[in-house]
């Protein structure tokens, strides 16, 4: 479990969720993009909560380890979503021609070369 500090609040989330959240926030900032992610967490009073994080270039988020023995909340869907989105931002798919053979047509190649 890790403490996530966000907007002057601290929540307890699973390790994978905390790591994915921080990595996704970095990828969004580097790509001048934004998104929201909702995670199951424990509040400062120990109550189960759902927290929605707004992630963009101005997001300040910190993950800190803890020695909690509380079972981690199941955020597997959110973790998978953040990992996939991070992968798409850091390694975008290649451009392919409309005929689907994997080659880039001349017009697309000219456009790419201009960039």
33-68 per-position pLDDT tens digit: 999 999 999 998 999 999 999 999 999 999 999 998
Q: Name the pTM for this structure.
A: 0.79
> Does pLDDT of 95 surpass 70?
no
Alpha helices in the chain (DSSP H): 15-30, 76-90, 106-114
The SS3 call for residue 45 is coil
Side-by-side strand order, sheet with 2-6: 48-55, 35-42, 9-13, 2-6, 61-65
């Amino acid at each position: 479990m890790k403490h996530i500090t966000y907007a002057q609040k601290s929540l307890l989330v699973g390790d994978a969720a905390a790591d994915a959240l921080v990595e996704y926030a970095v990828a969004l900032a580097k790509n001048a993009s934004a998104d929201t992610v909702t995670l199951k967490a424990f509040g400062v009073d120990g109550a189960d909560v759902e927290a929605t994080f707004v992630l963009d270039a101005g997001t300040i988020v910190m993950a800190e380890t803890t020695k909690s023995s509380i079972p981690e909340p199941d955020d597997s869907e959110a973790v998978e979503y953040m990992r996939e989105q991070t992968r798409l931002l850091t390694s975008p798919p290649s451009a392919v021609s409309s005929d689907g053979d994997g080659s880039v047509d001349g017009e697309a190649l000219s456009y790419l070369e201009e960039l």
